[in-house]
Structure 1
Amino acid sequence: MVLRSRRCRRPAVAISLALLVLSGCSGGEDGDGESAAPQAPTVVKTSTGTFRGLHDDGVRTFQGIRYAQAPTGVRRWALPRTATAPKGVQQATRPGPRCAQAAATPGASPALSEDCLNLNVTVPGQVRKGEKLPVMVWWHGGGYTSGAGSDYGARRLADSHHVMVVTANYRLGVFGYLGLPGLDGSGNFGFADQLESLHWTKTNAEHFGGDPGNITVFGQSAGAMSTCAMLTSPAARGLVDKAIVMSGSCALSWPTGTLFPGAPAQTPYSTLAADQAAGVAAAKKLGCHGERTTACMRRLSVKKLVPLNQEFADHLAYNTPLLPKNPAKALSEGDFTKVPLISGGTRDEARSFVGGALKADPDSVTAKTYPQLLRSAFGSHAQAVSQEYPLSKFDGNAGLAWSTVATDSAWACPTLRGNQELARRTKVFAYEFADPDAPDVNGIGKTGLPQAAAHATDMPYLFDLGGKNLLHAAPQKQLSAQIIASWTSFARSGEPTAPDTDWSAQLASQGKALSLAPGHVRPVDTGKEHHCALWNKVTPS
């Protein structure tokens, strides 16, 4: 396999979430079952149609609800428009199409639908009279190139703590983030879809028993980067009351090679000019150029365009009407919607990416290549980094050493700095997911790296993946219960409370976080743990 920096830098965490290919449904406990709580209806009228859902294992689910018009034909690369309501009752009992994306696993077929702007609603099966459910809107991860809202089963969230959960699709890759000179919405189509899903939720929440005045947006990886960006968008003002940013701080910054060996230094966001330049270059590859470039691109088949998706990973553009500023700059200047936040990541984020690199090419990270990786990433600081992270400290395991360097420099310390910036102006609850035995959702397998709290391994603690609860050990189930209780209580009141959990908002301003590990939920000095004194000199914000 030939590895290229832009196209192949996320082999493990597109979150293909390898275990999503598993089929079947998980069991679980029913809701509280109080006799005063009658069973809620499964037919709901919304602004985009009347939908029949399902009563399923203690919850009601409504799947594949269209929230915007199909972005096809001349509406390919156009900002979303609100869907019109068809006549009659529509079946909302199966997931809608995934947005166009490459196959998740070798030998599988790519998803080729553009008519994919649908969402899923999960609410308790029983409701109390007059109850208004806190609303949680989920934007999935996947490097802006893969994934779907339907991958994330929200039964445990909705059932155990009486919340309404919305999981939404948005356009991906070239379909969601293409930029071209003169094209309205360049670099922002997927982001605009996310905002449209938020508008739909605010308009329709009460039809499902939700409270349109109490909406929390939460996301992981690309979904978290979108959530953070949303806080800086003038178009999102008044749409959100709280936010949860999981492994996707606005302040993230990846030195050369830290996402994948050979990947250039980059941030989660792109300038509009850079995005448009990438779009022109991509169009030329397909024979489209000149004044009619957009029209030419719109005539191409989905199948011909999908291979370009990886070219537009991390291409959410700013200097646009929806994102006037770089979200990182807006954050540092205090130019963002000041709502309560939960913000953090996983203790071993980069283990997923390095594991993926080693699966693709076992020689990409070795004792021989380690010094060059350090030089490429950190230049004149490479020697200082090598002294802080010598191979001997990792028993000669270069993959473990490099993944630790990448985690600390590119994920943990930028997130810590971002949390401190946010905490100067609003309430922030900082956390670090730290279960060393978390399920290997990225499928990195036997790469010589020990199991860890890698990027995306926290997902099974909130959601069923592929219809399954992947947690089997009692301590992990207990941690999941604590996380779900914290996230849902935060959505309800702005305070993350859970049994055996004492979480102070002061931790973020102190450069600390609440460590979330089975049997060990406690404050930790994340700055010290991740050597941030060094990284604040080597990779300052």
Structure 2
Amino acid sequence: MWFSLLILLVYLSNSGGQRILIRDAPPVTIRRQGVTSGVEVTLSKIGHRAWMYLGLPFAQPPVGNLRFAPPNVDPLPAWSGIRNGSVHMPSCMQDPQMLHNRNRVFEALMPNLQIRMSEDCLYLNVYRPEGAIPDEKFPVMVWFHPGDFHSGSPSLWDASVLAAKQKVIVVTTAYRLNIFGFYSDSSSEASGNWGLLDQVAALDWVNQNIDSFGGSSQNVTIFGQGSGAVCVGLHTLSPLSRGKFQRAISMGGNVLQRIAITTFDTETVLEMLADNVTCFRNTLTGCLKNIVAEELYKQGGMLTHWGPVVDAVALANGSRDPFLPDEPGILMAADGLNPAAHMIGFNHMEEAYELYDKVDAVESIGVTRDRFENLIREMVDEEQLPGGQLAPMIASEENCTLNVDFVLETVIFRYGYQANDPENLRGNYVKLATNKKYGSTAFRMAIFTSKRSPTYMYRFEYKLRTTKVLVVPEWIDAAHMMELPFVWGMPFWTNLQNIDWSSADRRMSENMMNMWTNFARFSNPTFKGFTVKWEEFKGISPKVMVLDKNLNLSFPDQEYNFWADYYPKVLNVAMQCCQNVTTDGASISSLSLVFLIFVPLLLYSFPIDLIHISASW
């Protein structure tokens, strides 16, 4: 035991962790597995203690013949004696540099962060408040980490403050990533979605065992950010996840985004992979199971964007039930959602750092008119690629041509009308990119979910005040992932001694933790402790809570409808296919296009000032 405590102390000192070791937490007996120890930690900034139980296996190691297979949970890993629950187990296979690149906040907080990796990685961590268990037991929140399905680790997400301060149990779980988690050869032998099936296994473990830790298996909330939020959405649609949770929170990502389902030329990728690892294509899957994990990642981990797939096609032979029977949008439209209350949201400037990284001198001089138009042209061109909105039409028709200039002019009319100032164009581009990718898809998802279950939508606009955490450019407020320090209570982490968090940041974190756990406990984010009432999102009267220094319930931006409803019509009109470009033998004229697009766009974009615009036209 002394050796394990030494390891824990070394881990804390290396990671910049927040905890101060006091004593062992009470041991817990886990059914069919054994007894685990835990650690009690003190959180001096909030005056509470938490018990944490780390590195608990929820499936057999996914190695050898279990690589590219559903997690094996029968039997669960078992042990004799008392298992050491004081240290994190290795993270799943990935590129450590990618982990750093995708986590600006963590890179700023813990620049020397190091993680261990192994293919044997199916472990979860349980954080709970110290002390007696309430009669109704603690609500449970299960976290799916972000990382674009290629990177991430549960060990980054210390839930001690969230659990202890809010009196909830938080479970952070690993799941297989990149080629290990999402390899598919489009057959029943390797149908894909292994990482998602790992999450199902973790939810099963929670349902069967969380009561041993004081949690309620009837009060489970799944929550995630980025690709973790996509996972949340996929579980709300999967028949394999039905009944395993009661609430769902999607933050800065959702299942209707383009990244939710991976699309690539499967045969081309598999041929390349076979060449890289010197395997025959017709025996590739079996051959891959015999390759050392590090070599497999090196040769195939970044070969394509591995991610979720509709596995029902590969499993049409009925060998087992699919995780995802169809495309998310189709399932939602067919009322295929699992029963669960929803909280869905995004950040005001999700795409700000994408622009920051893409455009030179964007901070100092903004975005020129030419660059603004080129960025939109690139966006429109991507609609024709796999996963783009026009990809299905292109696949089903021959000799289709997109009038890119027509779509470009429509979007510019919406976002660049009479705007030439580089700073304004910079803001307009971030706004359109954010609302296209995040806002409109979150809005569409809320429309679907609100028909079946209580739904709450938010837009996070708060700008981090504590500059020692991350120096945020003046023109950026709430970029991608910037809500996470507040949800996870980082201003109250004890061992971040070099950071003097502002009182405003601490208050914002208090509010965010209260809202998230109110939702987990009551299915209502402002049920307790708030004077502002967060009204449910309803299709006939949609309301969005703006999360800033002052909370403000408002109606959604018109931008959401523009991208969700109007933009697809623009693309359809601009897509000219052989059998669709004529009406009674005559080509659609430019004047017809004007009436189809620009006249409604005037009414849509500028309903109040239409007379002025008509005169200027």
Range class of TM-score, shorter chain: 0.7 to 0.9
Higher-RCO chain (CA-CA 8 Å, sequence separation at least 6): 1
The verdict on how the C-alpha distance between 1:56 and 1:366 changes in structure 2, with shifts beyond 3 A counting, is farther
Superposed displacement of residue 376, structure 1: 3.0
Residue equivalent to 2:379: 377
Superposed displacement of residue 365, structure 1: 7.4
Which deviations, in whole Å up to 9, do the C-alpha atoms of 1:244-284 show, x marking residues without a partner? Answer: 1112222224xxxxxxxxxxxxx41136x855764454333
Say whether the 8 Å CA contact 2:250–2:345 is kept in structure 1. yes
Which deviations, in whole Å up to 9, do the C-alpha atoms of 1:181-231 show, x marking residues without a partner? Answer: 435352210000011110011111110000111111111111111111111
Superposed displacement of residue 415, structure 1: 1.1
Residue equivalent to 2:345: 344
Which deviations, in whole Å up to 9, do the C-alpha atoms of 1:325-366 show, x marking residues without a partner? Answer: 112221122111021111111111111322333489999976
Residue equivalent to 1:526: 556
Which deviations, in whole Å up to 9, do the C-alpha atoms of 1:164-190 show, x marking residues without a partner? Answer: 110001000011001114353522100
Residue equivalent to 1:326: 327
Residue equivalent to 1:475: 504
Say whether the 8 Å CA contact 2:367–2:422 is kept in structure 1. no
Residue equivalent to 1:56: 41
The verdict on how the C-alpha distance between 1:240 and 1:274 changes in structure 2, with shifts beyond 3 A counting, is farther
Task: Give, as a single letter, the amino acid of the residue that structure 1 aligns with 2:519.
Answer: F
Say whether the 8 Å CA contact 1:78–1:189 is kept in structure 2. yes
Say whether the 8 Å CA contact 1:438–1:453 is kept in structure 2. no
Distance 1:440 1:318 in 2: 43
Correspondence 1:115 to 2:120: yes
Which consecutive residues of structure 1, in runs of 5 or more, have no partner in the other structure?
1-19, 31-38, 254-266
Residue equivalent to 1:432: 459
Correspondence 1:204 to 2:204: no
Q: In structure 2, the residue corresponding to 1:214 is in which secondary structure?
A: strand
**In proportion to residue count, which structure has more helix?**
2
Say whether the 8 Å CA contact 1:102–1:110 is kept in structure 2. no
**Kindly, what percent of the aligned residue pairs are identical?**
25
Aligned length: 495
Q: In structure 1, the residue corresponding to 2:26 is in which secondary structure?
A: coil
The verdict on how the C-alpha distance between 1:128 and 1:212 changes in structure 2, with shifts beyond 3 A counting, is closer
Superposed displacement of residue 391, structure 1: 9.1
Distance 1:287 1:244 in 2: 43
Distance 2:256 2:234 in 1: 10
Distance 1:471 1:80 in 2: 44
Superposed displacement of residue 302, structure 1: 2.3
Superposed displacement of residue 126, structure 1: 1.4
Distance 1:489 1:51 in 2: 30
Superposed displacement of residue 76, structure 1: 1.3
The verdict on how the C-alpha distance between 1:373 and 1:425 changes in structure 2, with shifts beyond 3 A counting, is same
Residue equivalent to 2:130: 125
Say whether the 8 Å CA contact 1:134–1:164 is kept in structure 2. yes
The verdict on how the C-alpha distance between 1:295 and 1:202 changes in structure 2, with shifts beyond 3 A counting, is same
Residue equivalent to 2:81: 88
Distance 2:462 2:14 in 1: 22
Q: Which moved more, 1:114-123 or 1:237-246?
A: 237-246
Distance 1:482 1:471 in 2: 19
The verdict on how the C-alpha distance between 1:531 and 1:201 changes in structure 2, with shifts beyond 3 A counting, is closer
Residue equivalent to 2:139: 134
The verdict on how the C-alpha distance between 1:526 and 1:93 changes in structure 2, with shifts beyond 3 A counting, is same
Distance 2:347 2:467 in 1: 13
Say whether the 8 Å CA contact 1:24–1:467 is kept in structure 2. no
Task: Give, as a single letter, the amino acid of the residue that structure 2 aligns with 1:24.
Answer: G
Residue equivalent to 2:221: 216
Equivalent in 477, 481, 489 of residue 452 of structure 1: 477
The verdict on how the C-alpha distance between 1:299 and 1:214 changes in structure 2, with shifts beyond 3 A counting, is same
Superposed displacement of residue 54, structure 1: 0.3
The verdict on how the C-alpha distance between 1:246 and 1:527 changes in structure 2, with shifts beyond 3 A counting, is same
The verdict on how the C-alpha distance between 1:64 and 1:231 changes in structure 2, with shifts beyond 3 A counting, is same
Q: In structure 1, the residue corresponding to 2:441 is in which secondary structure?
A: helix
Task: Give, as a single letter, the amino acid of the residue that structure 1 aligns with 2:487.
Answer: L
Residue equivalent to 1:513: 544
Q: In structure 2, the residue corresponding to 1:270 is in which secondary structure?
A: coil
Say whether the 8 Å CA contact 1:513–1:526 is kept in structure 2. yes
The verdict on how the C-alpha distance between 1:250 and 1:157 changes in structure 2, with shifts beyond 3 A counting, is same
Q: Return the index of the structure with the highest Cα Rg.
A: 2
- Which structure 2 residues correspond to residues 34-53 of structure 1 after superposition, within 5 A? 41-53=26-38
Superposed displacement of residue 517, structure 1: 0.8
Equivalent in 515, 518, 540 of residue 486 of structure 1: 515
Residue equivalent to 1:462: 487
- Which structure 2 residues correspond to residues 250-399 of structure 1 after superposition, within 5 A? 250-253=255-258, 267-270=259-262, 278-307=269-298, 308-313=300-305, 315-320=307-312, 321-358=322-359, 367-378=369-380, 379=404, 380-390=406-416, 393=419, 395-397=421-423, 399=426
Task: Give, as a single letter, the amino acid of the residue that structure 1 aligns with 2:286.
Answer: A
Task: Give, as a single letter, the amino acid of the residue that structure 1 aligns with 2:556.
Answer: T
The verdict on how the C-alpha distance between 1:129 and 1:324 changes in structure 2, with shifts beyond 3 A counting, is closer
Say whether the 8 Å CA contact 2:544–2:555 is kept in structure 1. yes
Say whether the 8 Å CA contact 2:349–2:478 is kept in structure 1. yes
Superposed displacement of residue 311, structure 1: 4.2
The verdict on how the C-alpha distance between 1:388 and 1:90 changes in structure 2, with shifts beyond 3 A counting, is same
Residue equivalent to 1:258: none
TM-score with structure 2 length normalisation? 0.73
Superposed displacement of residue 116, structure 1: 0.6
Say whether the 8 Å CA contact 1:44–1:50 is kept in structure 2. yes
Superposed displacement of residue 507, structure 1: 5.5
Task: Give, as a single letter, the amino acid of the residue that structure 1 aligns with 2:26.
Answer: P
Distance 1:192 1:441 in 2: 39
Correspondence 1:194 to 2:199: yes
Distance 1:51 1:383 in 2: 63
Residue equivalent to 1:8: none
Residue equivalent to 2:383: none
Which deviations, in whole Å up to 9, do the C-alpha atoms of 1:107-166 show, x marking residues without a partner? Answer: 998854101111110000112453511111110111001111111111222112211110
Task: Give, as a single letter, the amino acid of the residue that structure 2 aligns with 1:350.
Answer: E
Which deviations, in whole Å up to 9, do the C-alpha atoms of 1:8-29 show, x marking residues without a partner? Answer: xxxxxxxxxxxx998323379x
The verdict on how the C-alpha distance between 1:354 and 1:164 changes in structure 2, with shifts beyond 3 A counting, is same
Say whether the 8 Å CA contact 1:64–1:96 is kept in structure 2. yes
Correspondence 1:501 to 2:528: no
Distance 2:563 2:295 in 1: 46
Which deviations, in whole Å up to 9, do the C-alpha atoms of 1:283-325 show, x marking residues without a partner? Answer: 3333333222112222323222324334454620114311111
Say whether the 8 Å CA contact 2:436–2:563 is kept in structure 1. no
Superposed displacement of residue 450, structure 1: 2.6
The verdict on how the C-alpha distance between 1:214 and 1:94 changes in structure 2, with shifts beyond 3 A counting, is same
Correspondence 1:407 to 2:434: yes
Say whether the 8 Å CA contact 1:60–1:122 is kept in structure 2. yes
Correspondence 1:146 to 2:172: no
Correspondence 1:26 to 2:18: yes
Distance 1:27 1:501 in 2: 34
Equivalent in 164, 168, 174 of residue 163 of structure 1: 168
Q: In structure 1, the residue corresponding to 2:309 is in which secondary structure?
A: strand
Residue equivalent to 1:16: none
Q: Which moved more, 1:378-387 or 1:134-143?
A: 378-387
